[in-house]
Structure 1
Amino acid sequence: MGNNVWKDTWLITVRNIKTTLRNPFSFIPNLMISAFFLLVYEGGLSGISQLPTFEGANYLAFILPVSIVSAAIGGAGGAGQGIVKDIENGFFSRLLLTPASRLAIVLGPIIAGMLQLFIQTLLIIGIGFLLGLEVKTGFGGILFVLLIAIGWGLAFAGYSAGVALRTKNAQAAQAGTFIFFPLIFLSTTFVPYELIEAQWLKVAATINPTTYIFESMRTALIDGWIFWDLMQGVIAIVIACAITITFAAVSAKKAVSRG
């Protein structure tokens, strides 16, 4: 049974990847927007790094996680859109009539979304190096940033898939992803926590999991191997994945029972 699950997951993942490649405009705009943010923020706000709080840190390394996380939201959201398309064109119903694992039917689009995000993150980091990115922890730090990005993408893909299975509607699934965009800006997006003046924004940043994703990446890029600062992002991802993947699994069970 276990082998069948992995085989079915692999086949469905490959199908979703091929579907994405046939329609590159489903991911190219998101990549371009993330790269655009990186260029604009670096060009317009890099002077902030001269403030004493930054201690001479490279602002490009500080802002890079924002571009990566925005790519994660857009890229991983494709998992939900893929499921909705399969529901609307009847492919999802046909899959339910086959012996294919029900878990694989949900995991396939999620993994495909993660792989798409992995490529996007590599390209964004590559653009960062072209702009002069310096990484304190070297190649190991880049790998850590990639793992954090993929983990956050997994959490968001689970949420996206869950919303798609609940609503079975493309517009509703797309609208459901917008909840994550405010999380980017209610965080330490442009300046460190110490420079945020509004008390309400400090409270929002403290309870916002995106803050810990940012800080974990920035620690690897700027400060070095500081264990607890790195682990905060890992813990946030584990909690988020537990919630969103459970949500997707429950939604899938209900979708399957309804046929």
Structure 2
Amino acid sequence: MTTVQQANLLGGRALREGLRTPESLAPTLFIPVFFLVVNFGQAGRIFPSSTTDFLYGQTYAAFQLPSSLLLAASFGSAALYLVEDIEGGYFDKLRASPVSRSALVIGRLLAEGVKGVVITAVLLVIALPFGVSVASGVVGVVLLLVLTALWGVVFGGFMQLIALKSRSAAATNAGGLVFFPLLFLTPNFVPRELLTRPMEIAATLNPVTYVMEALRSLILQDPQWDVLTRGFGIVGVLGVIMVALNVRLVRSYD
């Protein structure tokens, strides 16, 4: 059996884990929708679509939606299920079997990607009553789904690193909190050029900024290929790094 086939089988198992505990998906949807509703409710009248250039004729909810998408994609459960496997001894059984170490890592991340596509699609539908549309059309919707899912894979890989190092559900849960400062050190509420200079520098150094701006460009404008190249480039580089580090940890796991 090839590494790809093994990864697909393990990915299917990871998806079934999620289906057996659908309540674990509740925060994944509720918290991003909550942020969208609250932020739109607080600032929607401050930034009216008719007079705010950076909204391109849409409501402020369209500007905020990428934050909710990234937040939802960062609620992955792969690392917590991995901790369960470690604590229950199943992970040791997998390591003792002729399963590729790459497949052990990639399988769960594939499941995170699939869940990311589904959750992104649901959030796009939920956002419609708030006056949000995807200006880049069908191509833009597909790119939104892919880019958000890829970010979920990247962050899932980061969480798995914590799980493999700590072997603790508490430590893994705590590690997920790192996303919140990353999210708020982006042009979350206004475009980057409207930030104060210190915040602009922080946002420029923050890789999440470029993923957010790529998602935002797809919602508000026709495809901006330079912005999209930066966003996809970030998730591509970080994805390779996360997979490589995960595989290295699995191989040296004792």
Q: Per the shorter chain, which TM-score range?
A: over 0.9
The number of residues matched between the two structures is 251
Q: Is the 8 A contact 2:162 2:172 kept in 1?
A: yes
CA-to-aligned-CA distance 1:174-225 (integer Å, 9 cap, x gap): 222221221100110011112212x221111010111111111111111212
Q: Is the 8 A contact 2:214 2:228 kept in 1?
A: yes
Does structure 1 residue 190 correspond to structure 2 residue 178? no
What amino acid does structure 2 have at the position aligned with 1:179? V
Q: CA deviation at 1:53?
A: 4.5
Aligned counterpart, 2:178: 179
Q: CA deviation at 1:19?
A: 1.2
Q: Is the 8 A contact 1:16 1:108 kept in 2?
A: yes
What amino acid does structure 1 have at the position aligned with 2:147? I
Aligned counterpart, 1:123: 122
Aligned counterpart, 2:209: 211
What amino acid does structure 2 have at the position aligned with 1:133? V
Aligned counterpart, 1:72: 73
Does structure 1 residue 22 correspond to structure 2 residue 20? yes
Q: Which moved more, 1:223-232 or 1:199-208?
A: 223-232
Q: Aligned with 2:188: secondary structure?
A: coil
Q: Aligned with 1:48: secondary structure?
A: coil
Q: CA deviation at 1:55?
A: 5.8
CA-to-aligned-CA distance 1:136-180 (integer Å, 9 cap, x gap): 111111111111101111111111112211111111112222212
1:4-153 superposed matches below 5 A: 4-50=2-48, 52-54=52-54, 56-58=56-58, 59-75=60-76, 78-153=77-152
CA-to-aligned-CA distance 1:10-54 (integer Å, 9 cap, x gap): 221111111111111222122111111112222221223336442
1:228-243 superposed matches below 5 A: 228-243=226-241
Q: Aligned with 1:47: secondary structure?
A: coil
Q: Which moved more, 1:227-236 or 1:41-50?
A: 41-50
Q: Which moved more, 1:235-244 or 1:146-155?
A: 235-244
- Aligned CA RMSD, in angstroms, stands at 1.6
Q: Which moved more, 1:154-163 or 1:183-192?
A: 154-163
What amino acid does structure 1 have at the position aligned with 2:72? A
Runs of 4+ in 1 over 4 A off after TM superposition: none
Distance in 2 between residues matched to 1:246 and 1:5, nearest whole Å: 15
What amino acid does structure 1 have at the position aligned with 2:39? Y
Name the CA shift for 1:55/1:35 in 2 (closer, same or farther; >3 Å): closer
Distance in 2 between residues matched to 1:55 and 1:161, nearest whole Å: 37
Q: CA deviation at 1:126?
A: 0.8
Percent identity, aligned pairs only? 32
Aligned counterpart, 1:222: 220
Q: Aligned with 1:228: secondary structure?
A: helix
Distance in 2 between residues matched to 1:90 and 1:250, nearest whole Å: 20
Q: Is the 8 A contact 2:105 2:243 kept in 1?
A: no
What amino acid does structure 1 have at the position aligned with 2:75? G
Q: Is the 8 A contact 1:42 1:63 kept in 2?
A: yes
Distance in 1 between residues matched to 2:245 and 2:100, nearest whole Å: 18
CA-to-aligned-CA distance 1:91-144 (integer Å, 9 cap, x gap): 111112222222212211111122122211111011012322122111111111
Q: Aligned with 2:44: secondary structure?
A: helix
Aligned counterpart, 1:170: 169
Distance in 2 between residues matched to 1:173 and 1:251, nearest whole Å: 15
Q: Is the 8 A contact 2:56 2:220 kept in 1?
A: no
